[in-house]
Chain A
Amino acid sequence: MARDSYDDSYARPVRRLLVAVLVLLLLSLVLLWRIDNPRVERIRAAILDRYVPNMEWVMAPVTGIARMAEGFQSYTRLFEQNQELRRELQQMRAWREAALQLEQENARLLDLNRVQLDPELTFVTGIVLADSGSPFRRSVLLNVGARDGILDGWATMDGLGVVGRISGVGERTSRVLLLTDAASRIPVTIQPSGQTALLMGDNSATPVLDFVDDPGDVAAGDRIITSGDDGLFPPGLLVGQVVFTSDQLMRARLSADLQGLSFMRVMRSHPGTTLDDPAGVVGPPWPPAGRRVDEDGTLVPDDAARAEVGVDGETDEVGADEVGAVDQ
């Protein structure tokens, strides 16, 4: 029978060759991904874009049943929950009163100061389609994409706090890198002490706060808000609260409910930094003002600019010599 022909002695070397070629091709794909990451990630976004909206019909019943099962479990604790809710409601009434008073006071003060709120801070709301979830990666897919004007780097929030940022935009879908992912780092401010810190995800439910100037000044329960230092996130979005864990690390309990994510707001904030250039070096502008690069690649004073500047031609000469020395 020739069906299983790869077992024939003459077919075996051919098969071995085929496997070798395939593996080489795949490894070169990995290399390509490592070298030209933005382009391959765009391909990935396109594939996700085709696959994920098509699984919506299977998604609806399965997620529905799972959520029903969760809801059914909670029936067994109905009485306790009722009591708990009543107590909380009582507390909330007190808070509501306080909030109303504060709101009025705030409005009065804003009016006194003639403050204008940032009109750019509008948002697009998306539904969570899928999570590429494993203990290794924390990200979800939203059903809004480039056609809704989503850009890479924008902040996403649930109703209360920051969830993560957009990382990868397809035509109809976009990927949100959660704050808990090991690749997520955002600059934050800790209130009321006003210290800046870096919020670094580590795949656990509570990201780590690091690079705090004076950890002694921070207490458990302090509010964490985005600082806006990265130029991506708008400043002042609520992130969570400081907690100290038993491993002596300062961590953040997120305000956003990452367990029950279903709707998300993408904050339409700033154009953001795009990652189109795969291997640019971060540094000052090159060549520096008043110089130019000649054919050999060495730095020489730019005559046109020199004629304009004129006065500090001598310092230019010194600078050029220094650069020449470095080149050798």
Chain B
Amino acid sequence: MSALSPRHVWTYRAVFVALALFLITFKLLPLNLASSGLPGPDLLVLLAFAWTVRQPAVVPLGLILGVFLLADFLFIRPPGLWTALVIVACEFLRRRRLTMTEFPFLVEWGAVGVAVLGMVLLNRLALWVLLADLDSLGLSLAHAIVTVAVYPLVVVVSKYVFGLRKLGPAELEAL
């Protein structure tokens, strides 16, 4: 099955939706009621980023919009703000993915780190402008750092468990 055939793309889109719903549901389960300390990584964002860099056709705009808007509503976040940031960040990565395929993984990791950090800071800025309640800065930064640190793990799982490989420049040029 070619990496660009419609069947392949639609299968992975379904897998993406299923994974996203699983992650959202798992986060909602009443398991860690009183756990404090380090905030967990935002796996949903990492999944969207890793798959956008690998095979952008698998995560179209509409899918990201739907999944993240649902997450915004379910996680009691300001609806729309985080979704907008994710969409902008995905566009940023999508436009730079050709350079990422040529350079080692560290470059990709760096780009994702910049994107996540930028999102967290822009989120804070927007909430500050809107005079909404702000989370503590330390906690938000810890959240961003943990999220960036877990990125290679998400990439490894996408590659070896879900078999989502990076499209080379040759294949992309054929488009």
List A residues at the B interface (Cβ < 8 Å): 1, 3-4, 6-7, 18-19, 22-23, 25-31, 33-34, 40, 43-44, 47-48, 51-52, 55, 58-59, 62-63, 66, 128-137, 139-141, 175, 182-183, 203-205, 258-262
Using known A-B contacts A1-B4, A22-B87, A132-B76, determine if residue A30 contacts B130 with beta carbons closer than 8 Å: yes
Among the listed stretches B22-30, B99-107, B156-164, which one makes contact with chain A, having 4 or more residues with CB under 8 Å of it?
A: B22-30
Measured CB to CB, the nearest residue on chain A to B81 is A30
Please measure, in the bound complex, the distance between the C-alpha atom of A52 and the C-alpha atom of B74, giving whole angstroms: 9
Q: Which of B4, B33, B36, B80 contacts A135 (CB 8 A)?
A: B36
The yes or no answer to B70 lying at the interface (CB within 8 A) is yes
Using known A-B contacts A4-B57, A7-B175, determine if residue A47 contacts B70 with beta carbons closer than 8 Å: yes
Contact B40 A23 (CB under 8 A): no
Q: Which of B37, B79, B143, B172 contacts A44 (CB 8 A)?
A: B79
Contact string against A for B residues 22-62, beta-carbon threshold 8 Å, 1 for contact and 0 otherwise: 00011111111111111110000000000000001100010
Name the distance in Å between B48's Cβ and chain A's nearest Cβ. Answer: 14
Known: A7-B172, A261-B30. 18 other contacts (CB 8 A): A19-B87, A26-B81, A30-B84, A30-B126, A33-B78, A51-B74, A52-B74, A58-B25, A63-B29, A130-B30, A132-B28, A132-B75, A136-B135, A137-B76, A175-B76, A258-B33, A258-B34, A260-B33
Measured CB to CB, the nearest residue on chain B to A40 is B79
Measured CB to CB, the nearest residue on chain B to A203 is B36
Q: Count CB-based A-B contacts (< 8 Å).
A: 140
- CB neighbours (8 Å) of B174 from chain A are 1
- CB neighbours (8 Å) of A19 from chain B are 61, 87-88, 91
Contact A135 B75 (CB under 8 A): no
Contact A134 B25 (CB under 8 A): no
Contact B36 A204 (CB under 8 A): yes
Name the distance in Å between B89's Cβ and chain A's nearest Cβ. Answer: 11
Chain B stretch 76-133: residues in CB contact (< 8 A) with chain A: 76, 78-81, 83-84, 87-88, 91, 126, 130-133
The list of the 10 closest CB pairs from A to B, nearest first, reads: A29-B80, A26-B84, A26-B80, A259-B34, A130-B28, A135-B39, A4-B175, A30-B80, A30-B81, A47-B73
Q: Which of A30, A51, A52, A204 has the most CB of B within 10 A?
A: A30
Measured CB to CB, the nearest residue on chain A to B140 is A136
Please measure, in the bound complex, the distance between the C-alpha atom of A3 and the C-alpha atom of B78, giving whole angstroms: 35
Q: Which of B25, B29, B33, B83 contacts A26 (CB 8 A)?
A: B83
- CB neighbours (8 Å) of A30 from chain B are 78-81, 84, 126, 130
- CB neighbours (8 Å) of B84 from chain A are 22-23, 26-27, 30
Please measure, in the bound complex, the distance between the C-alpha atom of A205 and the C-alpha atom of B37, giving whole angstroms: 10
- CB neighbours (8 Å) of A52 from chain B are 28, 74
- CB neighbours (8 Å) of A260 from chain B are 33
Name the distance in Å between A54's Cβ and chain B's nearest Cβ. Answer: 9
The yes or no answer to B65 lying at the interface (CB within 8 A) is yes
Q: Which of A3, A47, A140, A258 contacts B4 (CB 8 A)?
A: A3
Name the distance in Å between A254's Cβ and chain B's nearest Cβ. Answer: 10
Contact A66 B40 (CB under 8 A): no
Name the distance in Å between B131's Cβ and chain A's nearest Cβ. Answer: 8
Please measure, in the bound complex, the distance between the C-alpha atom of A29 and the C-alpha atom of B80, giving whole angstroms: 6
Measured CB to CB, the nearest residue on chain B to A257 is B34
Measured CB to CB, the nearest residue on chain B to A168 is B76
Q: Which of B31, B39, B83, B135 contacts A63 (CB 8 A)?
A: B31
Contact A134 B81 (CB under 8 A): no
Please measure, in the bound complex, the distance between the C-alpha atom of A134 and the C-alpha atom of B32, giving whole angstroms: 9
